[in-house]
Amino acid sequence: MHSLRNSPSEKGLLSQEESNPNEVNRTVTRIISHPNYNSITKDNDICLLKLSSPVNFTDYILPVCLAASGSTFYNGTDTWVTGWGTIGSGVPLPSPQNLMEVEVPVVGNRQCNCENGVGSITDNMMCAGLNAGGKDSCQGDSGGPLVSKQSSRWILAGVVSWGYGCADPNLPGVYTRVSQYENWINKSLLH
């Protein structure tokens, strides 16, 4: 888990190099890490960030709904990942470093376990990517959102966690399955 305390948190940021008139900055004042996070297996790779002050929603900054406990994202469900990570193994994001997005289908845990090594994908994880490769989250995207559109609502299905390589065939990206953490999130918000 990366150190985020006192790190800036930008909302509405589309480019890391150009002016962003809709950008709002906050400082991370508290990090609530999952107590059962395993740095070796990456199980429970999730944390909550408390910001220095509330963020007002605008046309450019909107909340995403969290996947409820028991939510299922079936094999083949379309999802989208956004981030500023590399765009290929060792290939940095080119100038002007605009926020990137990619559409990737969900890959079932059974298949993903076969591809990543039996036992490596827990019930707290989910996978997304193309069997042919070519589309994936990448290094530097960790902690970013994996969302699915259901009717007119965006649902946070996963959080970018880990993977072997980047956009390689038969090696989908691995994400923390948000629906497994509804109770933990709600309890953490009370403290």
pLDDT band at 80 (very low <50, low <70, confident <90, very high): very high
**What whole-number distance in Å separates Cα of residue 114 and Cα of residue 95?**
37
The catalytic residue positions are 2, 45, 142-143
Q: What is the pLDDT of residue 18?
A: 72
Question: Does residue 185 carry a pLDDT above 90?
Answer: yes
pLDDT band at 10 (very low <50, low <70, confident <90, very high): low
- Residue 167 β-bridge partners: none
What is the pLDDT averaged over residues 100-115?
96
For β-strands 47-51 and 145-150, DSSP reports them as: unpaired
Distances (CA, A) of 103 to 36, 64, 78, 188: 30, 17, 7, 31
**Comparing C-alpha atoms, which of 105, 44, 121, 118 is closest to residue 73?**
105
Q: What is the pLDDT of residue 173?
A: 97
Instruction: Please say whether the beta carbons of 77 and 148 come within 8 A.
Output: yes
**What whole-number distance in Å separates Cα of residue 9 and Cα of residue 41?**
27
pLDDT tens per residue across span 117-156: 889 999 999 999 999 999 999 999 999 999 999 999 999 9
CATH number of 5-18+64-180: 2.40.10.10
DSSP 8-state assignment for residue 52? S
Instruction: Please say whether the beta carbons of 139 and 85 come within 8 A.
Output: yes
3-state SS, residue 57: coil
Q: Calculate ∠ Cα 71-77-78, nearest 5°.
A: 120
The domains of the chain are located at: 5-18+64-180
